[in-house]
Structure 1
Amino acid sequence: MNTLILASTSAYRKQLLERFGLPFEVARPETDETPLPDETPDALAIRLAIAKARAIADHKPNALVIGSDQVACIGNEIFGKPGTIERAHAQLRRMSGQDVIFHTAVAVINSDTGKVQSTLVPTHVRFRTLTTDEIERYVAAELPLDCAGSAKSEGLGITLLDALSGDDPTALIGLPLIALSRMLRNEGIALP
């Protein structure tokens, strides 16, 4: 079996991939995440997932490399990882009462054959109307500074939402396991 490599240092993606019970390595991809001019949020997510996988696959023979990226948006307005408490507050104020799409892309590259598989799994999220106090309490409690859109649905962030819908509940956390399991099976990996 080829070495399985997760091209991400995200603790969330690592925890999700561990659900498969397969041995894997983690590698940090060096990828410029700047959107291209006029690039749509979904195209950005796919491009970055592939670029992250390729950044590792180009240097690792006998590997299946997994790349993933998530872009939150309202229309074409993109919300990345806030990085600071102030930006998290601003993102959540903007998303308050809004419908937000979280585009989560996953890619698998076989470094031996060069085969690239990729797909996009959108999750539609309706944020409830949030007060300033609720936003401040949430950010202080969970510090979601490394999450696109400033909300961790797998934690306390679920309380910020009115509804969500999508094809894969793990996509919103950052790695769509249903799509990924299909890609890995296509590469001959037995998942039950």
Structure 2
Amino acid sequence: MVEKRRIAVFGAGYIGLVTGACFANLGHDVTVRDIQKERIDVLQSGGVPIHEDGLAELIADNADRLTFTLDAEATVRDADVVYVCVDTPPTHSGDADLTRIWQVIESLRGARHLAAVVVKSTVPVGTGARVRAALDRAGMRHVGYASNPEFTAEGQAVSRLHAPRPNCDRYR
């Protein structure tokens, strides 16, 4: 049995919302934060602002473990782990705009109770070292850092939760 955690997810877009709903489905308490009031309003009223087969049902089935908010401080307050699932749109030069990543990292200052910060957003090579350094400068050396790139098949992410798992014995 998995130990129950309090998980904070920054970003209620495709990756963040699916991630949060799936963690809630595993039994964790999840707070999903977004900066778009309209998106949070839809989620708080029981709607789902994106299309993903099975996601509405997954969110409804786990409503007692899912909270949606605009408040960054409240999102982190009781969290054990923070998942950063914000967008990183291309700049005019084609580089990833990491502004929202840095806004989330800045909002974590003082959250020394965290066990880990996990970045799922698409970021260029070297970003992890910069995030680690920012956490260290904020007095959070003890907070683990991980990069968890997403390879979610849009439109199939939730349905794959219930797909048969391959026999892994042949890979041992």
TM-score (norm 1): 0.28
Q: Which has the higher strand share?
A: 1
TM-score (norm 2): 0.30
